[in-house]
Amino acid sequence: MQKSEKDKTKLEDIKPQFGNVKDELFLISFIILCAGLVFTDAYYQRFGFKYQLLNLSTIHIIYKGLTMVINSPSMLIPYLLTIALVLLEVFAIRNGFETFLIMRTPIIYFFLIANLLIIFPLAKDAGFKQAMVDIHAKTSGLPQIRTLTSNNFQIKYPSADGKKYLLFMIDGDFVTVFVPLEENQSNAYPIIKHISKNEISILETIM
């Protein structure tokens, strides 16, 4: 059955929700950013930090959202669903699926809510698991401090007391180091020190 001229006009007036590369990239970036935020929050909470108090860039959070799939492949699910939505709309536009195009706004909002509900537990679990790896002495992949000398503090490895420090982060003002936990300290928080960068004269690390 041929569509009437009126129906064709209505269909032609419907513009794609993600009708160009910019809009599609925005949607995908938004999903990755949300995943990165949840991952980052869970990761730093395990160390006793609120990520909001740290000087973390948006690029850093997006990077975490992308790289978490290496150790948590289940995070591919919301990412692939996002790509599928974009492809579905392109397919609907090209093939004139009028019902989908007319209902696309509530469909997209429903999709975003559902996808965020999937992202939250997956990204939170991924962040916690990565923190548990980095917080323990035997599994951490963070750099180990070999020498750190500041005005009021010094680290040498091996030290007389047998402690070793790992480099947690370097931000605009501070170098943060901590003593990693042993296997039997799963519920403990590490000893963390913040040292002003202006006070540090020597900093050497080993992997």
Which tens digits make up the pLDDT trace of 45-100? 998 888 777 778 889 899 999 999 998 999 999 999 888 888 877 777 777 777 76
Provide, rounded to the nearest whole percent, the portion of the chain with pLDDT above 90: 27
Question: pLDDT band at 23, cuts 50/70/90?
Answer: low
User: Are 123 and 32 contained in the same domain?
Assistant: yes
pLDDT value at 188 more than 80:
yes
Instruction: Name the one residue in this structure whose structure tokens are 């990077």.
Output: 63
What the block records as the tokens of 96 is 């004139």
pLDDT at 175 over 90: no
Per the structure, the complete domain to which residue 102 belongs is given by: 5-135
Q: Is residue 68 located within the same domain as residue 154?
A: no
- The CA distances from residue 68 to 6, 16, 188, in Å, are 49, 31, 24
Assigned token pair, 173: 């003002």
Helical segments of the chain, H only: 5-13, 21-46, 58-71, 76-95, 98-102, 104-135
Q: Which residues pair with 134 in a beta bridge?
A: none
Confidence of residue 16 (pLDDT cuts 50, 70, 90): very low
Question: Do 127 and 163 fall within a single domain?
Answer: no
Q: Which residue has the tokens 């939250």?
A: 120
Confidence tier at 20 by pLDDT (50, 70, 90): low
Give mean pLDDT, residues 128-149.
Answer: 90
The predicted structure's pLDDT at residue 11 = 46
Nearest to 197 by CA among 164, 143, 150: 150
What is the pLDDT at residue 126? Answer: 94
Same structural domain for residues 173 and 73? no
Phi and psi at residue 155, to the nearest 5°: -125, 130
pLDDT-based confidence at residue 14 (cuts at 50, 70, 90): very low
- Say if residue 112 is in the same domain as residue 162: no
What DSSP string runs through 43-84?
HHHHTT--GGGS---HHHHHHHHHHHHHH-GGGHHHHHHHHH
* Domains: count for the chain: 2
Give the model confidence (pLDDT) of 90-129 as tens digits. Answer: 777 777 777 766 777 787 888 889 999 999 999 999 999 9
**Is the predicted pLDDT of residue 1 greater than 50, yes or no?**
no
Q: Are residues 43 and 25 in the same domain?
A: yes
**According to the model, what pLDDT value does residue 150 have?**
86
Statement: residue 185 has pLDDT above 60? yes
Last residue of a domain, one of 77, 104, 135: 135
Q: Under a CB-based contact definition with an 8 Å cutoff, are residues 35 and 68 in contact?
A: yes
Is the pLDDT assigned to residue 28 strictly greater than 80? Answer: yes
